C-alpha cells in the first residue's frame, strides 16, 4: 500500500496563529489565566494575577518583487494584571520565562524563537483607573512586547 501525504497548507491568517500560539505557551508555562483580546468571564469571576494577550497584524519579513512569500513578523502585547505591584512584576517574570527564546509550533509554518522586543521599554506597574477587582481593590498593570517570525513550510 502506498501512503500519500497531503502537504500541510499554512493558514491565511498567520497573525491570528501567532497570537494563539503565544497564548498557548503562556498558559502552559505559567499558573495564571490567559485571555486573548479581553477577559471572557465577568469581572467578578476574574482571577488575579492574569494575562491579556493583544495581537497586531503582521508585517511581511521581506519585500519581494514577485509578491508575498507568506513570511510574517508579529508584535504581541502581554498585559500583566494583578492586585499588587509585586504580583504584576512576578507575572511579568513568569511570562518572560514562558515565552522568551521559545519556538512555537504552528501547523504549516516554520517559526523562529519568540523574542522580547528589545526596543519596547518595560514600564513599572501602574494602577488602571478603569478597572477595579470585585472587592473594589485597585488593579495594577504592565505590558510586555514579544516578536515572532514565521514562514510557510515548503514541501
What is the full DSSP assignment across 118-129?
Answer: TTSPPPPPEEEE
pLDDT tens sequence for the chain (155 residues): 544 444 566 678 999 999 999 999 999 999 999 999 988 888 888 999 999 999 999 887 666 556 667 889 999 999 999 999 999 999 999 999 999 999 999 999 999 999 999 888 888 999 998 888 877 889 999 999 999 999 998 75
Give 69-109 pLDDT, tens digit per residue. Answer: 788 999 999 999 999 999 999 999 999 999 999 999 999 99
Q: Quote the pTM value.
A: 0.86
Q: State the CB neighbour count (10 A cutoff) for residue 31.
A: 8
Paired strand residues for 43: none
Amino acid at each position: 500500500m502506498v501512503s500519500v501525504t497531503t502537504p500541510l497548507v499554512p493558514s491565511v491568517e498567520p497573525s491570528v496563529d501567532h497570537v494563539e500560539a503565544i497564548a498557548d505557551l503562556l498558559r502552559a508555562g505559567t499558573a495564571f489565566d490567559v485571555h486573548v483580546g479581553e477577559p471572557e468571564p465577568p469581572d467578578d469571576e476574574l482571577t488575579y494575577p492574569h494575562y491579556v494577550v493583544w495581537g497586531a497584524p503582521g508585517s511581511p519579513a521581506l519585500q519581494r518583487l514577485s509578491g508575498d512569500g507568506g513570511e510574517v513578523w508579529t508584535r504581541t502585547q502581554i498585559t500583566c494584571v494583578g492586585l499588587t505591584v509585586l504580583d504584576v512584576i512576578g507575572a511579568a517574570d513568569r511570562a518572560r520565562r514562558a515565552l522568551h527564546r521559545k519556538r512555537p509550533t504552528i501547523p504549516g509554518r516554520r517559526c523562529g524563537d519568540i523574542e522580547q522586543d528589545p526596543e519596547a521599554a518595560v514600564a513599572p506597574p501602574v494602577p488602571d483607573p478603569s478597572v477595579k477587582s470585585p472587592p473594589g481593590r485597585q488593579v495594577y498593570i504592565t505590558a510586555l512586547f514579544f516578536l515572532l517570525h514565521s514562514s510557510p513550510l515548503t514541501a
